[in-house]
Amino acid sequence: MKKISVFAIAASLMLSGVGAWGESVSGVVKDASGSPVRGVMVSAIVGNYEKSVSVLSAVDGTFTIDGLASKDYDIRGRFVGLEDTFIKGVKAGSKSSKSVALNMDPAENINLQRTGDNLLGLIKFDSAGDKETFKMFCMGCHQVGTIGFRSPEEPVDWETMVTRMDGYGGLNEHMQQTIVARLLDAYSDEAMADWPEYEPKPVADSILDSKITEWDVGLRGTTRGPLGDDSSLYREPAPAFFHDMELGNNGLVYAVDGRNDAVVEFNPETDEMVWHIMDGFATVDQTLPGSGIHSIEADGNGDMWLTLARSGEMAKFDVTTKEFTVMSGAPAPMPRGGYPHTLRIAPKTGLVWYTDAGREVYSMNPNPPFLVKEYKTLSADQAVGGGRGESAGRTPYGLDIAPNGHVWYSKLNGNRIGRIRPEVEDGDLKEWNPPFRGPRRLHVDPDGLVWVPAYGSGVIGRFDPKTEEWKIFPMPDAENRAPYALNIDPSNGDIWVCGTGSDALLHLNPKTGHFTEYLLPSMVTYTREIEIGEDGSIWTTNSNGPLRHIERGLTSFIKLEPGL
């Protein structure tokens, strides 16, 4: 165990009128013929997209964006099939802000508006299994087919990129030999000329009253990363990269910045962000050792626990003192874990439970000396069920705590979900093989049902531990979906799913099985975790990697108010 100091670096979006968010901008959207356009994403943008507030136009084309400060905004209209339209310098609350007219022309090249799920569907595979394998091992970090992904222009560039992406050895020999040709057949300039006509997804009536706020996060202040005694070796920060985020019980939002080894503390009321940087680590140039902060979860006191994937450690961030406490992620006398991944805090015992994607499942006592207990997961022949088999590695991955205290985990590549009974000394582990590919970040609902996103198969599975039976909910266009994570609204049991490759979040009604897609404002939005506020707001981050693929090249906080 060690305590380390932090460097706290504050940054503000410099919004005037903080605390006075009572102004609005309203108007109407029309197409080139003068007809009103329903379902247009209309955004009020601060500066260079430091913050945007977005709504959808009503059936008659009208819109109102409220809750704004009394300052100038750029107003953008966005709709698939029409060109983005901007009106600069509209002051919220002024007379002119009550009658903004957005006139939108037909898109010059609608192919530039295709989302990642549609672009994935352009790649031809020999079998459904080959496509699942590609999704599992080539889409874990970013969308496929978007402009940034298509940047390699020569076959040798594709060879280099695919070889690097297949470093985990996930693709079979057949796929390794053919994938470059498949990518060129789908995304070369010649192939683009023959793309089928793009048919945009319809905008559901039920989302027209939704509201989305997005905060871009880039460089804020100067990050110190000691690389030795010579202060000249300190490095400037890299653009932030968020993997996970958590809602604090103090009204603040916390995210882990894996590129700068920092916890970012964000106040959505004032838009201020503070970087708490772990002294002693430096990852900014991607060649230096670092902790690799990955996941974040609040304990009962509101302090934040972290998995440090690269250093194989665990950490606690005290939200009051702003201090980090770091400890090994493995049982003594092992100096470190393999790749600590997803964590949850048991509400009744306070134990910190986490998966190690390179090893097993662990629990940690939250008090010194932070004793760790290992639970050895089962081999393939010990699992129940006749579903899909294991691929390369087992990869303990998602994890959640059931209302009865049982711990549920997934094996991403092992293709299992498992249960641990902490009240039994050896955990009485049991695992089930689901009827789909790629169980990822699961959650357990208040009734003890286990909801599992199937990244490879594009479905949501619901497992009943009492009957040991599955119910499958295929997502729309399931073969081109890759749901990374889901969460459950504790107030009503509704399921929220990461769109990951579709620039959207999805709502699943567990009673009807109906999915509703909520559009997000930015192209190439890739989400890995969902948090739900007490007010019903849905929170996530844009975590596409590399950042350069994202529309503006920056990670972001995203808040969706669905208006259900």
pLDDT, position 224: 36
User: Residue 26 pLDDT more than 60?
Assistant: yes
Query: Could you report the per-residue pLDDT of 454-488, keeping only the tens digit for each?
Result: 999 999 999 999 999 999 999 999 999 999 999 99
Residues 6+ positions from 253 with CB-CB distance below 8 Å: 245, 246, 247, 265, 266, 267, 268, 539, 557
Q: What angle do CA 320, 555, 268 make, to 5 degrees?
A: 45
Give the integer Cα–Cα distance in Å for 471 and 512. 12
Which whole number is the average pLDDT over 421-434? 96
Instruction: Find, among 84, 53, 218, the residue nearest to 555 by Cα.
Output: 218
pTM, to two decimals: 0.93
pLDDT, position 342: 98
User: What is the 3-state composition of the chain as percent helix, strand, coil, each rounded to the nearest 5?
Assistant: 15, 35, 50
pLDDT, position 318: 97
Give me 293's structure tokens: 């902060």
pLDDT, position 398: 98
pLDDT, position 241: 92
Interaxial angle between packed helices 155-165 and 128-138, expressed in degrees from 0 to 180 and rounded to the nearest 10: 80
The band of 175, judged by pLDDT with boundaries at 50, 70 and 90, is: confident
Percent of the chain with pLDDT over 90: 77
> What does the mean pLDDT of the chain come to?
89
Give the integer Cα–Cα distance in Å for 32 and 197. 21
User: Residue 289 pLDDT more than 80?
Assistant: no
Would you say 453 and 435 are in contact if contact means Cβ atoms under 8 Å apart?
no
Beta partners for 325? Answer: 3, 316
pLDDT, position 169: 61
Tell whether omega for the bond before 226 is within 30 degrees of 0, i.e. cis.
Answer: no
Provide φ and ψ at 12, rounded to 5°: -125, 150
User: Residue 145 pLDDT more than 80?
Assistant: yes
Lowest-confidence pick of 223-232, 335-344, 498-507: 223-232
pLDDT, position 2: 58
Q: Which residue has the higher pLDDT, 137 or 224?
A: 137
User: Residue 235 pLDDT more than 80?
Assistant: no
List Cα–Cα distances, 283 to 240, 293, 371, 430, 441, in angstroms. Answer: 11, 10, 28, 39, 26
Query: Could you report the per-residue pLDDT of 315-363, keeping only the tens digit for each?
Result: 999 999 999 999 999 999 999 999 999 999 999 999 999 999 999 999 9
Give the integer Cα–Cα distance in Å for 354 and 341. 7
Q: Which residue has the higher pLDDT, 327 or 239?
A: 327
Which whole number is the average pLDDT over 298-307? 98
pLDDT, position 390: 64
Tell whether omega for the bond before 369 is within 30 degrees of 0, i.e. cis.
Answer: yes
Lowest-confidence pick of 104-118, 168-182, 370-384, 519-533: 168-182
User: Residue 221 pLDDT more than 80?
Assistant: no
Give the integer Cα–Cα distance in Å for 241 and 123. 29
Give the integer Cα–Cα distance in Å for 170 and 177. 13
User: Residue 11 pLDDT more than 70?
Assistant: no
Give the integer Cα–Cα distance in Å for 311 and 192. 43
Residues 6+ positions from 503 with CB-CB distance below 8 Å: 115, 116, 519, 520, 522, 523, 524, 525
Query: Could you report the per-residue pLDDT of 29-73, keeping only the tens digit for each?
Result: 999 999 999 999 999 999 888 999 999 999 999 999 999 999 999
Residue matched to tokens 């969460």: 487
Give the integer Cα–Cα distance in Å for 31 and 107. 11
Give the integer Cα–Cα distance in Å for 327 and 458. 37
pLDDT, position 231: 40
User: Residue 564 pLDDT more than 80?
Assistant: no
Which whole number is the average pLDDT over 251-279? 91
Would you say 272 and 556 are in contact if contact means Cβ atoms under 8 Å apart?
no
Residue-wise burial string across 512-535, b where 16 or more C-beta atoms lie within 10 A, e elsewhere:
eeebbbbbbbbbbbbbbbbbbeee
Residue 48, SS3 per DSSP: coil
Lowest-confidence pick of 2-16, 373-387, 543-557: 2-16
Secondary structure, 3-state, 472-518: EEECCCHHHCCCCEEEECCCCCCEEEECCCCCEEEEECCCCCCEEEE
List Cα–Cα distances, 143 to 178, 192, 200, 294, in angstroms. Answer: 20, 18, 18, 19
User: Residue 239 pLDDT more than 80?
Assistant: yes
Residue type, position 452, single letter: V
Give the integer Cα–Cα distance in Å for 254 and 169. 34
DSSP 381-450: GG-BSSS---BSB--EEEEEE-TTS-EEEEETTTTEEEEE-TTSTT---EEE--SSS-B-B-EE-TTSPE
pLDDT, position 412: 94
Query: Could you report the per-residue pLDDT of 247-257, keeping only the tens digit for each?
Result: 999 999 999 99
Give the integer Cα–Cα distance in Å for 354 and 420. 12
For the chain, the C-alpha Rg in angstroms (whole number) is 23
Residues 6+ positions from 428 with CB-CB distance below 8 Å: 420, 421
109: number of Cβ within 10 Å: 8
Query: Could you report the per-residue pLDDT of 77-94, keeping only the tens digit for each?
Result: 999 999 999 999 999 999
pLDDT, position 380: 79
Element (H, E) at 129: helix 128-138
User: Residue 295 pLDDT more than 60?
Assistant: yes
Dihedral sign from CA coordinates of 496, 113, 43, 99: negative
